[in-house]
Amino acid sequence: MLKICIKLYTEKLDPYILIKGLAKMKALRFLCVDMRDCFWNLELDTFSPSFPDTLEYLSFNQYPFRSLPKTFQASNLVTLEMCRSKIILLWEGEEPKKLRFLDLSYSTLKTLDLWLVLNLETFTLTGCGDLVEFPDGNWKLEHLKSLELDGCKLLEKLSDDLHRLGVLEKLNLSSTSIEYLPDSISILKHLKYLELDRCQLIEKLPEDLGQLESLEHLSLSSTKIQHLPDNICMLKHLESLKLEDCTFLEKILEDLGQLESLERLTLSYTKTQYLPDSICMLKCLESVNLINFRLLEKLPEDLGQLDSLEQLSLSSTKIKHLPNSICDFWFLEKLPEDLGHLKCLDKLHISYTKIKHFPDSISMLKHLKALKLHDLSSFEMLPEDLSGLRCLKVQLLLSTKIRHLPDSICMLKHLKLLNLAQCWLLEKKAYCTKMKHLPDSISMLKHLKVLKLDECRLLEMLPEDLGGLDCLEVLRLSYTKIRNLPDSICMLIHLEYLYLDHCLLLEKLSEDLSRLVCLKVLCLPYTYIRHLPDNICMLKQQRVLNLRECSLLEKLPEDLGELESLEFLNIVGGLLHSLGYNVEDEDEDINEDQYIYEYEDDYEDQYGYGYEYDDYMKTNEEVADILTNSLASGKLIEFNNMMGMVEVDVEKEY
């Protein structure tokens, strides 16, 4: 027998036809309806839905009725999803014995009749703000593995008979009004996830919580818990413990080190004064979050024994000295000499500290993939030997006082991004204010994808073999003294973004620019180029061409219309003025009907810049004629008053 599946999502769907027609589809097994954008103009008291009894899966977002139809037997139904529905009663009559998965998130349900759902495996009631109680009684959900009650703000208590949930693995009570957990919760031997975040009335936990022998995740953030029961250290399978914003917590368990499986520990925004030394026994610990642990002044001396540690966050603490770790906080003045012993470390981010230099042992971090130093006002030098960082892909040294880059940086074969912006004191073998050229050896960075040379105000030339950067995708040369681009730049066949704005000495582009077959964005504002090479029209991927204030540019290539992917063209200033166009003389009266396309905000994220405007003006007819003749395959969309931007869309009809 043929089985039918239907998925409907449309604003134009006629609910009368939908609801009445479904009952006749005897072979329908799978039905998914999303009515978020559909206006229901139904007399709900007189109009009743109808579903075929053959349904196995029913998903109906924003179901407008208060119950399922009485005629719906649901004898074959396995999954029922009715998020954001008006439902207050499931159905009357026989229990749907095959129902395993029930999701009534954000519905108006007030009470539950658990006798109708005895075979459930997952029960999701997230955001049911009208639900006031979880019923007591003789029910027994012996198959239920997941119960989601987070966001049920009126829910004040659970049933004391939690043994009826014998195989429960996940219990989420976050953002409820529950005041306590019943002692019977310790009976749930299969429970793996217990979440009580933002249960602001809970002040203590059951003393036998340590009997939850399968528990892997315990989240108690933003509760009023004052202390943890001692036997919590018996949770041998616990992998994650979250105590963020537990401002009433008086101390951390002394025997914390007995949680032998713990991988993630979050103690942010707590007010305890120290970490127990036993934390150093947690050999599986990968992440420790101590952000805004404001009373913490020191860490255990043996912290370096955390062999698996990958991330240590210490922002806004009072720590002045680290024994052996990584960090990101205000008062740190030095890193330990044996930093390199963190063998598993793959990310190191240090910002806003007083660190002056790295220990030589940093070259031992053979798994380090990302190194970011940001706003280190005292940082002056890197170790001469960086060759040991053989996995390093990203190196950001923003706003530091580095004067010199070691030659060994060119041996980082996997480096994909190198950014030294605002390193104002850098003098050579790099790019910033005092540097005039790049080392030829930079072409050895065969995996480099992003090279940022912004505001290298004395940079005059690039290496002739720059084209050897085979994987380069982004090249930023803004605010430099570059006069010419090396011919080899046309060998960068993967280059997508080329920024040359405010290169005041740049006069021409390479005649072989068409070889940059992947180029999407070319920014040349405030340059003195006199012409664009004709073969620029062969760049089939180009989306953005910015020629703002190119005062010496006299014309656009005749075949500019061949740029079939072009979406943004900015010629305000130079070319517009040469055509006798004056922005200030334009009539201020606005006809909004002329504007049929509005700039999308996501271009700012995608291309790294955006245009902001408040007022519009009429498109200059002379400019429109010139551009529409040149861009024969496209359509002039808009001229912008504030920035003078002409936008061209060559794919869509508006």
**Does residue 220 register a pLDDT over 80?**
yes
Residue the block writes with tokens 């105590």: 243
Give tens-digit pLDDT for 76-135. 999 999 999 888 877 665 678 899 999 999 998 887 777 777 789 999 999 999 888 877
Residues 226 and 249 sit within 8 Å (Cβ to Cβ): yes
**Amino acid letter at 499?**
Y
326 versus 528: the higher-pLDDT residue is 528
Q: Note the pLDDT tens digit of each residue in 258-267.
A: 999 999 999 9
Q: Are the C-beta atoms of residues 283 and 261 closer than 8 Å to each other?
A: no
Q: Is the dihedral of CA 582, 584, 585, 590 positive or negative?
A: positive
Between these two residues, 34 and 2, which has the higher pLDDT value?
34
Which segments within 50-160 are labelled E, that is strand? 57-61, 79-81, 101-103, 122-124, 146-148
Closest CA to 120 of 139, 93, 92: 139
**By mean pLDDT, which of 21-30, 300-309, 402-411, 566-575 is the weakest?**
402-411
Q: What is the pLDDT, as a whole number, of residue 8?
A: 66
For residue 638, the model assigns a pLDDT of 34
As a whole number, mean pLDDT of residues 454-472 equals 84
Q: Is the pLDDT of residue 502 over 80?
A: yes
Cα→Cα distances 517→486, 537, 541, 628, Å: 17, 11, 7, 25
Of 278-287, 384-393, 487-496, which range is least confident? Answer: 384-393
Spell out the long-range contacts of 266-274 with Cβ–Cβ below 8 A and sequence spacing 24 or more: 266/221, 266/241, 266/242, 267/243, 267/293, 268/244, 268/292, 268/293, 268/313, 269/244, 269/245, 269/293, 270/243, 270/244, 270/245, 270/246, 271/247, 271/295, 272/296, 273/297, 274/298
Region 355-380: mean pLDDT is: 81
Q: Note the pLDDT of residue 398.
A: 63
Can you tell me the mean pLDDT for 380-397? 79
**pLDDT, mean of residues 262-290:** 90
Number of neighbouring beta carbons within 10 Å of residue 189 = 13
Q: How many percent of the chain have pLDDT more than 70? A: 74
Residue 601 pLDDT exceeds 90: no
Q: Which pair of structure tokens corresponds to residue 382?
A: 């890197």
- The predicted-structure confidence for 633-649, as pLDDT tens digits, reads as follows 443 333 333 333 333 33
The two beta strands, 370-374 and 521-523, are unpaired
Q: How far apart are CA 513 and CA 490, in angstroms?
A: 6
Q: CA 432 to CA 502: how far, in whole Å?
A: 15
Alpha helices for 504-652 (secondary structure H): 574-578, 602-607, 621-630
How much helix, strand and coil, in percent to the nearest 5, is found in the chain?
A: 15, 15, 70
Which pLDDT score is estimated for 25? 80
Average pLDDT over residues 31-39: 73
| pLDDT (mean) for 64-77 | 83
Residue 405 CB-density burial (10 A; 0-12 exposed, 13-18 middle, 19+ buried): buried
Beta carbons within 10 angstroms of residue 21's beta carbon: 11
Strand partners, 454: none
- Helix, strand, or coil (residue 444): helix
* Residue 615 pLDDT class (50, 70, 90 cuts): very low
The residues pairing with 474 across neighbouring beta strands, listed in sequence order, are 450, 497
C-alpha 537/C-alpha 540 separation (Å) is: 8
- 240 pLDDT more than 70: yes
pLDDT at 57 over 90: yes
pLDDT higher than 70, residue 631: no
Nearest to 641 by CA among 605, 615, 606, 610: 615
The helix (H) or strand (E) run that includes residue 16 is helix 15-22
Question: Please, what is the average pLDDT of the chain?
Answer: 77
| Dihedral sign of CA atoms 142, 143, 146, 150 in order | negative
Compute the average pLDDT of residues 5-27: 68
Q: What percent of the chain has pLDDT over 90?
A: 28
Burial class from Cβ neighbours inside 10 Å (0-12, 13-18, 19+) for residue 651 reads: exposed
Least confident of 94-98, 212-216, 324-328, 381-385: 324-328
* Beta carbons of 649 and 637 less than 8 angstroms apart: yes
Contact between 152 and 172 under an 8 Å Cβ cutoff? The reply is no
**pLDDT for position 332:** 58
pLDDT surpassing 70 at residue 284: yes
Cα torsion for 204, 209, 214, 215, to the nearest 10°? 10
569 neighbors 548 (Cβ within 8 angstroms):
no
Distance between CA atoms of 8 and 33, rounded to whole angstroms?
5
In Å, how far are 150, 302, 355, 387, 437 from 331, measured between CA atoms?
39, 20, 9, 30, 36
Q: Which residue has the tokens 């009826």?
A: 164
Q: How many Å is the Cα radius of gyration of the chain?
A: 32
pLDDT at 623: 45
Q: Supply the pLDDT for residue 539.
A: 92
CA distance 307 to 422: 35
pLDDT of residue 242: 96
Give 530-574 pLDDT, tens digit per residue.
Answer: 889 989 999 999 999 999 989 888 888 888 888 888 888 888 876
pLDDT of residue 10: 55
**Encoded tokens for 49:** 């839905």
- The pLDDT of residue 414 is 80
- pLDDT of 458 higher than 50: yes
Other CB atoms within 10 A of residue 27 CB: 11
The span from the first CA to the last CA of the chain, in angstroms, equals 46
CB 532 within 8 A of CB 509: yes
- Please state the domain extents for the chain: 535-648
Report the b/e string of 370-383 with b at 16+ CB within 10 A: bbbbbebeebeebb
pLDDT of the residue at 221: 95
Of the pLDDT bands very low, low, confident and very high (cuts 50, 70, 90), residue 435 is low
Nearest Cα to 530, choosing from 513, 512, 547?
547
Q: Are 486 and 453 a contacting pair, CB within 8 Å?
A: no
pLDDT surpassing 90 at residue 351: no
Res. 423: pLDDT tops 80: no
What's the pLDDT at 651?
32
Angle at 392 between CA 432 and CA 320, to 5 degrees: 75
pTM: 0.54
Residue 167: pLDDT over 60: yes
Euclidean distance between CA atoms 319 and 327, whole angstroms: 10
Comparison of pLDDT for 279 and 335, the residue scoring more: 279
- pLDDT-derived band of residue 349, with 50, 70 and 90 as boundaries? confident
Is there a contact between 103 and 83 (Cβ–Cβ < 8 Å)?
A: yes
pLDDT over 60 (residue 586) = no
